[in-house]
Every structure is written in C-alpha cells, then in structure tokens.
Amino acid sequence: MAQGKVYKAIYSALKNWYEPTGEGLDLFNRMLTPRKFGFASNLPIIDSRIAINRMLSYYIEQLGRLQPLLAQILFRRFQDREPIKQIAYSLKISEDHLNRGQKTAIAYLVGLIDDEEMRQRAGQAEY
C-alpha cells in the first residue's frame, strides 16, 4: 500500500476525529490492521469512526513511548482540538516547529501502522 495514500488517510481520520463522516475511511477498508480495532466496511459511520479513533489512539500511545512530545502534539491537536497557536505557546516552540512535529508524528504513525499491516499480511500468507 502506498505510504502517501496511508498518510492522507491517517491525516484525514485525525482531522475528522469527532465528525460523523465516512471521509478518510475508504483506504482502511482495504487494510487488515483496522480490523484488530473493530473496524469493518459494513459498520455504521459512527462505529467505523470510533474503531479508527481507537486504532489511532493506540498507535499514538505507542509512538509516545519513544517520542512523547510528538504523541502529545497529535493528541492535543486532534483529540483535544487545541489550536496550533495555543499548543506552540504552551510548549514554547514556534508554530512552524509544531507543524513540522505534527507531520513527523503522522509519518511515524504511517510507519507503525504499515509495519503492523505487513506483519498481519505475512501471517495470513502462512495459513
């Protein structure tokens, strides 16, 4: 799966954390990893969004084990809906630095989710 597409899907899912919309969920229908978190293509939109949020929360927490600042940026920005300016001010970093950190954090999420996806697909091939 192209990492650029996964990046866009994850960013869209983060932006729509609280929105009752199917926007950004299409790619997840073709992946195995979201299924571990209860995602299925036949779920209502709210249940799909909750499953994807559960998956994103899990991987943000995993990221936080090595990169706590990046995980904090994602949680505050998307889950807590804090404005960029407010987060940057409280962390004593520039808005540009925060935006770069956000992009880096999302790229790390892509890597973590892609790694899990590859392992699940390899496990499926063994059966």
- List pLDDT tens digits, range 58-114: 999 999 999 999 999 999 999 999 999 999 999 999 999 999 999 999 999 999 999
> CB-hemisphere CA count at 13 Å for 77?
24
Kindly report the average pLDDT of the chain as a whole number: 93
- For residue 77, count other CB atoms closer than 10 A to its CB: 22
What are the sequence ranges of the domains in the chain? Answer: 3-126
Classify 125 as helix, strand or coil: helix
Query: Residues near 53 by Cβ (< 8 Å), separated by ≥ 6?
Result: 13, 17
